[in-house]
Amino acid sequence: MAIGANLTELGKSLILNLIGALLVFLAGVLFSDPIQRHVAQWRRRRAFRKQKPAFVRIFPIIFGAPFDQLTHLLLRQNRLQPFFQLEVIHWEAWRGHEAAEARLRALRTDSRLEFVEKFQAEMQAYNEASGAAENPINVAVTDLVFPKNFYCWNTRDRRGIVIGINSLHKLFREDPILVNKIILRIVQRMLLYSLGIDSLTAHQYTWGCLFDLTPILTDLQYSVDNTYLCKQCARAIESDRGMEFLDMAKVWVKGDTTA
Ligand SMILES: [Zn+2]
């Protein structure tokens, strides 16, 4: 009887061990890939987090509509990528804002570059007054009419950007959500562009690529939810910044802009 009982115990423990081993094996088969992928992704993110992100200041200058929804969308980008740290400036709370706006309103120019340089000068004046230690990338979002009815331009060094949403509102007035999404895409494009990545340029004819500057502005609405980085742009980013940077840029660009 004693031997029989021991055998039963032995059998039980054998079976339990086998089941345990089988479960570990199954878990390994089922979950090792996703777990490894997550660990790799987490490591990459941690490595990038150690690098300082580029600081970006968003200035709503001469901007009539409420900025709350757009602020939410813009600040959400901080959680979706490690390259940039966005901050939305309380422009109208600054006592210098009225004089700055008067100077910008008085501007008469057909030059998009001059238009952007004047905005950049005002944003830099704000930064100096606020004692910003970093040298941020400045992005103005404005209702002021853009030269040649354009909607976006940057300074020569690419660190001053103006998004003129007057043209966008004229085209998509009925849909402020769509306009916000388009602004967000422009911000993504211009920020990646501001990094000065070799051979990354705006192009046409790759419909839906973040850097595809479609000549027909209304086409933007079809690609805004399905944006990606085309092979040419992906190659340019990878050769300048490496595979991991490209991976994260792809995730950022692919991510939905609805929340
Ligand atoms: Zn492209």
Separation of CA 220 and ligand 1 centre (Å): 14
Task: Name the band, by pLDDT with cuts 50, 70 and 90, for residue 45.
Answer: low
Separation of CA 259 and ligand 1 centre (Å): 25
Pick the residue with more confidence: 31 or 258?
Answer: 31
- In whole angstroms, give the CA distance from residue 188 to residue 152: 12
Pick the residue with more confidence: 57 or 42?
Answer: 57
Span 210-230, mean pLDDT? 83
Pick the residue with more confidence: 201 or 10?
Answer: 201
- Cβ contact 147:109 at 8 Å: yes
Q: Which helix (H) or strand (E) holds 32?
A: helix 2-50
Residue 48 burial (C-beta neighbours within 10 Å; 0-12, 13-18, 19+): middle
Separation of CA 141 and ligand 1 centre (Å): 24
Separation of CA 202 and ligand 1 centre (Å): 7
The answer to whether residue 258 scores a pLDDT higher than 60 is: no
Separation of CA 240 and ligand 1 centre (Å): 15
Separation of CA 49 and ligand 1 centre (Å): 26
Q: Which residues crowd ion ligand 1, with CB under 5 Å?
A: 206, 209, 211, 230, 233
Least confident range of 91-95, 131-135, 180-184:
131-135
Separation of CA 92 and ligand 1 centre (Å): 37
- In whole angstroms, give the CA distance from residue 226 to residue 215: 18
Separation of CA 196 and ligand 1 centre (Å): 15
Amino acid type, 78 = N
Q: Tell me whether strands 137-142 and 84-88 are parallel, antiparallel or unpaired.
A: unpaired
Per-residue pLDDT at 50: 63
- Cβ contact 136:158 at 8 Å: no
- For the chain, the domains span 52-197
DSSP code for 135: -
Least confident range of 49-53, 66-70, 142-146:
49-53
DSSP code for 84: E
Separation of CA 229 and ligand 1 centre (Å): 5
Q: What is the largest CA-CA distance in the chain?
A: 105
Length of the chain: 259
Per-residue pLDDT at 19: 87
- The 10 Å CB-count burial string (b at 16+, else e) for 175-207 is eeebbbbbbbbbbbbbbbbbbebeebeeeeebe
Separation of CA 140 and ligand 1 centre (Å): 24
Residue 250 burial (C-beta neighbours within 10 Å; 0-12, 13-18, 19+): middle
- What's the half-sphere exposure (Cβ side, CA atoms, 13 Å) at 61? 33
Q: In what order do the strands lie in the sheet with 84-88?
A: 84-88, 54-60, 137-142, 160-164, 152-154
